[in-house]
């Protein structure tokens, strides 16, 4: 998804620890926090916001 959103950035196709065993997947119930009015940011928007923040704070050079 990150590569699709930012095709001009050199995003690796594999993780550096690819040979390590993957952590087991798990799910959590979010009903209680949702009942309090918490709204989660969609992952796509979170990735966009993160990259924009990294560029703004000069941790990442802006792609041409």
Averages of pLDDT over runs of 10 residues in the chain (64 residues) are 94 80 88 94 97 96 86
DSSP 9: S
64 touches 8 (CB < 8 A)? yes
pLDDT of residue 5: 96
What CA–CA distance (Å, rounded) separates 13 from 1? 11
In angstroms, the Cα distances linking 60 to 18, 45, 47, 56 are: 24, 18, 14, 8
Alpha carbon distance, N-terminus to C-terminus of the chain = 20
Query: Where in the chain are the domains?
Result: 39-64
pLDDT of residue 45: 98
């Amino acid at each position: 998804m990150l590569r699709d959103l930012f095709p001009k950035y050199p995003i690796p196709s594999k993780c550096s620890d690819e040979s390590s065993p993957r952590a087991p997947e798990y799910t959590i119930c979010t009903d209680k926090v949702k009942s309090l009015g918490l709204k989660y940011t969609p992952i796509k928007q979170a990735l966009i916001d993160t990259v924009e923040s990294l560029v703004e704070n000069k941790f990442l050079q802006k792609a041409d």
